[in-house]
Structures are given as C-alpha cells and as structure tokens.
A and B are shown apart, each in its own frame.
Chain A
C-alpha cells in the first residue's frame, strides 16, 4: 500500500496540472488566500530585515562618503538649475493652459502601501503589497514608486494586493516616446528591461529618449514616466525602467478612475 502512494500522487499531480489549467480562477483564489494568511508574518519580518539591510548599506557607504559627497554636491547644483527651469516652464504651462481653456485632468486619489514579498517566482515578475483590511484597492489600479511606473494591480485579496511589474512577460503597456511623440507598446520579457515594440514606420527610438505612458486604451493616465530607451548589443530597443524594480519598498497605488483596464491574464475576446 505504501509503495503505491508515490505513483498515485504523481498521477494526482498531473490531475492538479489539468485542474489548474481548466480553472485558472481556482489557483488565483488559492494564491491570494495564502498570501492573505502569510502577509502578517512578512509584515512583521520586513522591518528588522530592512534594518539589517540599511545597516549593511550604511557601512558600505562609509567608505565612499567623500566621493559621494562631492558627486551629490555637483548633482545638487545641476538639479537646482533644472528646478528653476522646471518652475518657469510650469508657470508658463499653467498660463498657456488657462488661455486655452484646457480641461484639467482629474486629480487622482492614491494610497501608499508597503511591499512585503516577492509574488513572482522565476517565471513571473510581481510583488505583493500589504494593504490592510478595508483598503479599497481595486484591480487595474496603477502602482508607481517615487521615480516612475512599476505596474498594475492584478489581484486583490482582503489584506493584500499583487502588482504585476512592467517587466513581467504578460505586461503590455501603451507608451509614447517623449521627443518623437510616437506611440509604441512596452512588452515585458521577464528580464530587467522591458522591450519597446510596434512603433510606427519611419521613426526610430533614440538612445536615452524618455518613455512615458499613453492614455490610449484608457488604461493609463498620460505622461507617467516609465524609463529611458537603451539599445541592447543585438540592436533591440529596451527600456531601462526609471523605477527601482529590484528594490521596491513602498509604492503608491493611484486610482485614476480609468475603466479601460483589462487585466493582462484575461484579454477581451477578439483582441490581442
């Protein structure tokens, strides 16, 4: 009898594969229930862990403090110049918008949440957020860190939310190249840099060109910073994300009230 357990369980695991394939919602529910159960543990763990990491980086920076200081002073100088330019441009922009009777974009509400665990695994790129009970976070909302877009909420539990990162294989984001204003699609590859695809003929993305979200398809607000174009050795146009996707700690989840969002795992019938 005991000898039979192993072959029987191997057959059962094939059954589980078929079940997972037949009912994808089942796996999703089980995962989010598991995450809801585990998130208090991760939340407790995250503060000592980040303290340890901080003290490690602290010690490491002690060595390079002098150079770092000089570099930061330079950068600060540069940023000050940019700040005055930005303020002047902002004022001009406001004036021009006022004279054009521009309809202002609706202000987005947001919540801030802590990243508590990796929710991707080797074949997916995602993070798990601890959002607390009664959070009001919905599928399709947009997650950004202090530098740029990181992804979209794809699954929501009672205490957790999963953010599918822009680097995930299933991620497709309508974008605009900032200088040429040409549309393209940013396709995740599971690597560290998503790839730019389907730009119009006659336009070539330039190295270092900024990529921002496009409001097309009503899934994203326009002009959220994503990253800069970086060509690979093989000549493919990748995008270096502005967000620190490897070191996410705190993210903001914006509700732009957009209803055109289609979760990546369930595309609208007839469209790809």
Chain B
C-alpha cells in the first residue's frame, strides 16, 4: 500500500534517533502482545490459567487490528499465532489460522467500528471470540482426531470476552501515547 503523506506542516529531520523512536512505537503492539502472552505462561497461581493465553492473543490482535493495523500486519499476526500454538500445545497452525481470520474480519469492519463507542467494539468482539473458540475447538478435534468436551472452548470464549476491557483500556491509552508514531 503506497503511503502518501498528505499532512501539511514542517517535519522534524529524519535523524537516527527519530527513526528508532518511530520504529519502537510501531513495534509496541506486537511487543506488548508477545510479552503478555509469555507472562500468562508463568505460574501465577490462577486456576484454569491456560485459557489466558488464547484470550490475550485474540483480544490483543483484535484491538490493534481495529485501531492500528499498520502495527499489526499479517506476518506479525502469523508469528503471534505460531507462538500461541507452540506455547499452548495446540496442534500447529490452529491459532495461526484463527488469528489471521480474526485480523481479516477486523480489517473489514474497522471503518464502521472505530467510529462507534467501546461497548459496540466489545459486543462485536464477543461474537468474534465465540466464533474463534468454536473454530479452535473444531480444528483441534479434526487435527487430533478425537472428540473433545466443548467446555474448555466455552470457557476460553468467556475468558476472552471478559478480559478484553482489561486489555483494551491500557491499550487505548498506549494507542494515543507510547504506541503513536505521530508522537515521535
């Protein structure tokens, strides 16, 4: 996508420090997502903690795909998905596919969504999370060739929807400040 700079005004010189700053701000969404995912694997002493990993990945990819898709491009989503598959002992490719599909849906809906309030984004995300946990459940069953109880899938869906505000509120703050390349 060719990026044409239409903003008027005087720009600071593209020094090395400034470019580093812009890069760091662009990398922030992916970095914070991966960091949170790794943290969720440490022993926090929370029962059924395993559901946090897919929940964080789904929530984070949804938020940044809606608000800053430039900082969450498909290759990064692919990498995050692969990391969830590896860390969460899912069959390889399950979360990769689910997150890419979620990213695609977010891109398609982002124009309508970014104009609405947070509640609306959350409601749409709830539908997305339900679909995603269903897809994960079905893919795991197909790839391991065995029937699995639907309860873990339901639980992942509920946790994903429940923790979204916990992720989204600080992310929204970061979106306006540290993750904003225009502030560099």
* A interface, CB within 8 angstroms of B: 2-3, 5-6, 9-10, 12-21, 27, 30-31, 34, 38, 41-42, 45-46, 49-50, 53, 115-124, 126, 169, 189-191, 246-247, 249
Contacts and interface: CB of A to CB of B under 8 A. Distances in A.
B78 A9 contact: yes
Contacts of A21: 91, 143
Contacts of B92: 16-17, 19-20, 27
A21 B143 CA distance: 7
A190 B149 contact: yes
Contact of A13 (B1, B38, B78, B146): B78
Given A31-B89, A34-B87, A13 B96 contact: yes
Nearest to B42: A45
B179 interface: no
B86 A49 contact: no
Contacts of A14: 93, 97
B82 interface: yes
A9 B75 contact: yes
Contact of A16 (B77, B96, B149): B96
Contacts of B148: 123, 169, 190
Interface stretch (B5-13, B15-23, B46-54, B113-121): B46-54
B41 interface: yes
Nearest to B94: A17
Interface stretch (B99-107, B124-132, B161-169, B170-178): B99-107
Nearest to B96: A13
Contacts of B75: 5, 9
B44 interface: yes
Contacts of A30: 86
B89 A53 contact: no
Nearest to B98: A13
A118 B47 contact: no
Contacts of B29: none
Given A116-B43, A123-B148, A247-B45, A38 B38 contact: yes
Contacts of A2: 1
B89 A121 contact: yes
B169 to A, nearest CB: 23
A31 B88 CA distance: 9
Nearest to A128: B41
B82 A16 contact: yes
A122 B51 contact: yes
B181 interface: no
Contacts of A119: 89
A6 B53 contact: no
Contacts of A3: 1
B82 A118 contact: no
B89 A117 contact: no
28 contacts: A2-B1, A9-B75, A9-B77, A10-B101, A14-B93, A16-B82, A16-B93, A17-B94, A20-B91, A27-B86, A30-B86, A38-B41, A117-B43, A118-B43, A120-B50, A121-B50, A121-B89, A122-B54, A122-B88, A122-B90, A122-B152, A122-B155, A123-B89, A123-B148, A126-B89, A169-B146, A189-B149, A247-B45
A5 B45 CA distance: 39
Contacts of A249: 43
A46 B42 CA distance: 7
A43 B140 CA distance: 30
Nearest to A32: B86
Interface string B48-79: 01110110000000000000000001110110
Contacts of A126: 89
Contacts of B88: 121-122
Given A2-B1, A38-B38, 5 more contacts: A14-B97, A30-B86, A45-B39, A123-B148, A124-B89
A5 B73 contact: yes
A20 B86 contact: no
B49 A118 contact: yes
Contacts of A121: 50, 53, 87-90
Contacts of B87: 34, 121
A6 B104 contact: yes
Nearest to A50: B43
